[in-house]
Structure 1
Amino acid sequence: MTESQSTNSNPEEGKLVISRTFNALRELVFKVWTESKHLKHWWGPKGMTIEVAKLDLRPGGIFHYCMRAPDGHEMWGKFVYQEIVAPEKIVFLNSFSDTEGNTIRPPFSSEFPLEVRNVVTFTELNGQTTLTLQGGPHNATAAEHEFFKGMFDSMQQGFGGTFDQLDAYLAKI
Structure 2
Amino acid sequence: RMLVDSQDDMVVVGEAGDGGEALERLGVTSADVVLMDVRMPRLDGVETTRRLLATDDAPRVIVLTTFDLDEYAFAAIRAGASAFLLKDAAPPDLLGAIRAVRAGDAVVAPSTTRRLLDHFAALPDPAGPSTPDDRLALLTEREVEVLTLIARGLTNTEIAADLVVAET
More strand by share: 1
Higher RCO (C-alpha 8 Å, min separation 6): 1
More helix by share: 2
TM-score, normalised to structure 2's length? 0.23
TM-score, normalised to structure 1's length? 0.23
Please say which structure displays the higher CA radius of gyration. Answer: 2
